[in-house]
Amino acid sequence: MTDAYNPPKAELQDRYGSLRGQISIGILEQLRRSRPWIRLISVAGIISSLFTLVPGVVMVFGMAIGMGEMAAAFGAGFPSSLMLGMGLMYIFMGILTLIAFIKLFGYASSITRAVNAADAAEVETALGKLTSFWKYAGILLLITIVLSLLLMAFTISIPFFLGAGVPL
Among 9-23, 28-42, 48-62, name the most confident range: 28-42
> Are the beta carbons of 123 and 27 closer than 8 angstroms?
yes
Q: Which residue has the higher pLDDT, 156 or 76?
A: 156
Query: Span 69-91, mean pLDDT?
Result: 72
pLDDT in tens, 115-126: 998 888 899 999
pLDDT at 164 over 80: no
Check residue 166 and give its pLDDT. 59
- Say what the pLDDT of residue 20 is: 54
Longest dimension (CA), the chain: 96
Kindly tell me if the per-residue pLDDT of 71 is higher than 70. Answer: no
Q: Are 103 and 133 in contact (CB under 8 A)?
A: yes
Between these two residues, 64 and 114, which has the higher pLDDT value? 114
How far apart CA 69 and CA 61 sit, in angstroms, is 13
Q: What is the mean pLDDT of residues 141-168?
A: 84
Cα dist from 26 to 11, 22, 32, 115, 156, whole Å: 30, 12, 10, 11, 54
Per-residue pLDDT reduced to its tens digit, 81-134: 777 888 899 999 999 999 999 999 999 999 999 999 888 889 999 999 999 999
pLDDT at 78 over 60: no
- 80 within 8 A of 62, measured Cβ to Cβ: no
Query: How many CA atoms within 13 Å lie on the side-chain side of 140?
Result: 16
Is the predicted pLDDT of residue 63 greater than 80, yes or no? no
Question: Tell me, what's the pLDDT at 146?
Answer: 96
Q: How far, in Å, are 18, 21, 29, 104, 110 from residue 25 at the CA level? A: 14, 13, 6, 23, 17
Task: Kindly report, residue by residue over 139-154, the tens digit of the pLDDT.
Answer: 999 999 999 999 999 8
pLDDT for 84 equals: 82
